[in-house]
């Protein structure tokens, strides 16, 4: 039998799945995560879905190779082909934050209190955090993981209420004690500083307006960095 090794990003999410959970992995592609969870006896059931036939065929192939054919493979857009009672844990990883938010917006039952969401945005994590805070979810856990030279945020969310500051939207809702938190914040500070410099150089009132908005985010991130240092450096 082949040995299936998860990437650090997927391993972190796998560790967050409650033992005996009924999972649905949306946008599964190779289905490494659901197959690993079934193969290792960690879940009671697993649905692996994808929008496109090509990735879903790759998913079925992983299931065949690792003898995890009880994974339920489904072709559907977001959560449209999954009923609320079929899963208690919804995993959506490896997509842009705005795409994850759109999938959740199309399935408001994910904020019913009976579902745990494990989310891993590749980009625009701030859009996802904002969506969650405005649509009846709260981020209950967040962690950073290095994978192939990229620092990824992973989030656990469920029904709840929370207001996030500008700094938390960009620098993380629950990353104050994460050992990688400062690196994450600094990378964003550098990105925004160079965007502001570019806009200043381009000139013009529209660019000035954009630069002012980015400066506001920069200020919030600089104070987040201070908060992180205060919490972690003696």
Ligand X SMILES: C[S@@+](CC[C@H](N)C(=O)[O-])C[C@H]1O[C@@H](n2cnc3c(N)ncnc32)[C@H](O)[C@@H]1O
Binding site for ligand X (CB under 6 A): 10, 26-29, 49-52, 55, 77-78, 93-95, 99, 103
CB-wise, 150 or 233, nearer to ligand X? 150
Q: How far is the CB of 166 from ligand X (least distance, A)?
A: 28
* Three-class SS state of 99: helix
Query: Rounded to the nearest 5 degrees, what angle is found at the Cα of 110, between the Cα atoms of 108 and 113?
Result: 115
Q: Of all helices (H) and strands (E), which one includes residue 74?
A: strand 72-75
Q: How far is the CB of 56 from ligand X (least distance, A)?
A: 8
Locate tokens 């879903």: which residue? Answer: 56
CB-wise, 50 or 178, nearer to ligand X? 50
CB-wise, 62 or 99, nearer to ligand X? 99
Distance CA 22, CA 47 (A): 8
Contact 104, 129 (CB under 8 A): no
Q: Residue 183 burial by CB count (10 A; 0-12/13-18/19+): exposed, middle or buried?
A: middle
Q: How far is the CB of 222 from ligand X (least distance, A)?
A: 31
Q: How far is the CB of 80 from ligand X (least distance, A)?
A: 8
Q: How far is the CB of 62 from ligand X (least distance, A)?
A: 11
CB-wise, 65 or 213, nearer to ligand X? 65
Q: What are phi and psi of 11, to 5 degrees?
A: -65, -40
> How far apart, in Å, are the Cα atoms of 29 and each of 51, 107, 120, 217?
9, 21, 14, 34
Q: How far is the CB of 215 from ligand X (least distance, A)?
A: 33
CB-wise, 101 or 220, nearer to ligand X? 101
CB-wise, 95 or 139, nearer to ligand X? 95
Distance CA 218, CA 234 (A): 25
């Amino acid at each position: 039998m082949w040995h299936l090794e998860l990437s650090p990003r997927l391993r972190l999410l796998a560790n967050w799945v409650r033992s005996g959970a009924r999972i649905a992995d949306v946008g599964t592609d190779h289905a490494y995560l659901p197959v690993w969870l079934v193969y290792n006896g960690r879940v009671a059931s697993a649905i692996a879905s994808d929008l496109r036939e090509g990735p879903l065929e790759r998913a079925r192939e992983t299931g065949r190779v690792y003898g995890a054919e009880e994974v339920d493979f489904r072709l559907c857009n977001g959560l449209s082909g999954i009923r609320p009672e079929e899963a208690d844990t919804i995993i959506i990883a490896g997509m842009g934050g705005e795409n994850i938010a759109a999938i959740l917006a199309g399935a408001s039952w994910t904020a019913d209190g009976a579902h745990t969401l494990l989310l891993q945005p590749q980009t625009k994590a701030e859009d996802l955090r904002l969506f969650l805070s405005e649509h009846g979810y709260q981020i209950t856990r967040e962690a950073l993981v290095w994978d192939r030279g990229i620092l990824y945020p992973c989030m656990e969310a469920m029904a709840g209420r929370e207001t996030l500051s500008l700094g938390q939207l960009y620098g993380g809702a629950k990353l104050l004690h994460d050992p990688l938190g400062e690196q994450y914040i600094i990378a964003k500070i550098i990105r925004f500083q160079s965007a502001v410099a570019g806009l200043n150089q381009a000139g013009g009132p529209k660019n000035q307006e954009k630069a002012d908005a980015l400066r506001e985010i920069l200020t919030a991130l600089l104070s987040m960095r201070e908060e992180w240092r205060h919490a972690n450096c003696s």
